[in-house]
Chain A
Amino acid sequence: MKFAVDWDKCSGIGICEALAPDLFEVNVDGKLELLQGTELPDDRIAEIESAISGCPTSALSKRI
């Protein structure tokens, strides 16, 4: 599945990192780093959906 980041909304709050630390990491500048990109196998869908709905600034979204 694919997802997108709205970089204007992302402020590095880190809930995505808490949910899936091998996919998301807030770096030393306080910015989000995507450790495995934005296209992931289907077995990660549940975690990505949790990250999408858990983001306090709605910076993550599904991509078709």
Chain B
Amino acid sequence: MQKRTEALVVVGASLAGIRAAEAARAGGFTGSITLIGDEIHPPYDRPSLSKKFLEPAVDADAIHLTTTEELEAKQIQLALGERATYLDTAAGVVGTEAGEHHYSAAIIATGSAASTLPWGNDLDGVHTLRTLEDARVVRKALDSGARTVIVGGGFVGAEVATAARKRGLPVTIVEAATVPLVRAVGNEMGSALARLHERNGAELLCGIGVAGLRGNGRVHTVELADGREIQADLVVVGIGTRPATGWLEGSGLVLDDGVVCDAGLRSSVDGVFAAGDVARWTNTLFDQPMRIEHFTAAAEQGRWVGRQVAGHMPNEPFVAVPYFWSDWYGDRIQFVGVVTDDHEVVEGDLDSQHFVTLFRRNGHVVGALTLNGQRQIMKYRRFIADRSAFEVAVAYAASKRLAIATREA
């Protein structure tokens, strides 16, 4: 492998970006490494913002992904508070608000941005939950006993509802679709998970949209599309995200709901890679392009492209079993793989505290969803990674049931 003594520029200083920079250095890259981020904070763990960070009195340092000392030791330069504004692939330049960075290799890790409602953004108490600043304000409002309305029945919203209920505070989730989480886990599973809200004292309104937000400096009312009004001191908007590719328009990179990459996370332009929320790549394990907004994808993809830049595995595909987890009111939801319409509950049942549902495509197990199935989830991930026949995974579930039954006999 040739070791390149040139310049790596990583655009995006969150999980994917820092892991890429670290992996390039650890992989033997001897050139300069610059990590550019538009936030003023050094890389921090974003998923924590709707989890641990919403608990009372957690400090921001607890969620940092690296330290100044580590960055110095690895000779990774940080350019923070610097928004990237263009990519000139002919000249090999990343342009930012502050200047230009020349590169021999570039990694795009600019992530995704939270979608907002078309109104209400001028009112205090209305927030998406994406940045450390957002999380601080949300936490402070919860500490003050806010009555919260969450717009959007997705995972971030559910985690904020969990934080509210943990404090014994009232919370209403407003979801426009008739069932939440349909894209993530499908209709039937979305319904099953939705029941957790009511079971834990959170109100869930489905099939209804938000028509407006009213307030006097600070928000006080959420208007629903059917005319109902809900009082709110805090409105958290969790209606989705969009990949941050606006700055790449006209760069020559193929963009389509993210930076389009081949199976190895290489963009359409030589020497430019993508990793994390922004990367849409072909996952050969599932023979489909995908863009994943999970912690594990950002970390693993970042590491992969960093090693690529250092000259490792130039022609191998980046293959992954997508994985996410979410803790709702003390229950843990976990999902590996991909969702299909063809699924079967193989352990527990949908109304209980525990279940395992497997998803099938072309006779193979391709996905698994568990509720309080920490013991099982990685076993099913293995079946998926091995492209096991669906029956093999079902037989495994049956053998577990038998083992438990026998023990209890």
Q: Which residues of A contact B321 (CB under 8 A)?
A: 18
Please give the number of chain B residues whose Cβ is less than 8 angstroms from any Cβ of chain A in the complex. 22
Cβ-closest chain A residue relative to B19: A53
Q: Which of B178-186, B248-256, B295-303 contacts A (4 or more CB under 8 A)?
A: B295-303
Separation of A33 and B356 alpha carbons in the complex (Å)? 21
A14 touches B295 (CB 8 A): no
Across-interface contacts of B303 in A (CB, < 8 A)? 53
Instruction: Give how many A-B residue pairs fall within 8 Å (CB-CB).
Output: 39
Interface presence of A45 (CB below 8 A): no
Task: Determine whether the beta carbon of A14 is less than 8 Å from that of B377.
Answer: yes
The chain B residue sitting closest to A14, CB to CB, is: B378
B73 to chain A, nearest CB (A): 14
Q: A interface, how many residues as a size bin?
A: 10 to 19
Minimum CB–CB distance from A57 to chain B (whole Å) comes to 8
Query: B381 near A: Cβ within 8 Å?
Result: yes
Say what secondary structure dominates the interface of chain A: loop
Whether a CB of chain B sits under 8 angstroms from the CB of A15 is: yes
Q: How far is the CA of A53 from the CA of B25 in the complex (A)?
A: 15
Chain B nearest CB: distance from A1 CB in Å?
16
B325 to chain A, nearest CB (A): 6
Residues of chain A with a CB closer than 8 A to B372's CB: 30
Contacts of B377 in A (CB 8 A): 14, 26
CB distance from B67 to the nearest CB of A (A): 12
Tell me the residues in window 31-48 of chain A with beta carbons closer than 8 Å to chain B beta carbons.
none
Contact (Cβ within 8 A) B332 A30:
yes
B372-390: CB near A (< 8 Å → 1, else 0) gives 1011011001100000000
Cβ of B296 and Cβ of A54 under 8 Å apart? yes
B residues whose Cβ falls under 8 Å from a Cβ of A: 19, 22, 45, 47, 295-296, 299-300, 303, 321, 323, 325, 327, 332, 334, 372, 374-375, 377-378, 381-382
| Interface positions of A (Cβ within 8 A of B) | 11-15, 17-18, 21, 25-28, 30, 53-54, 56
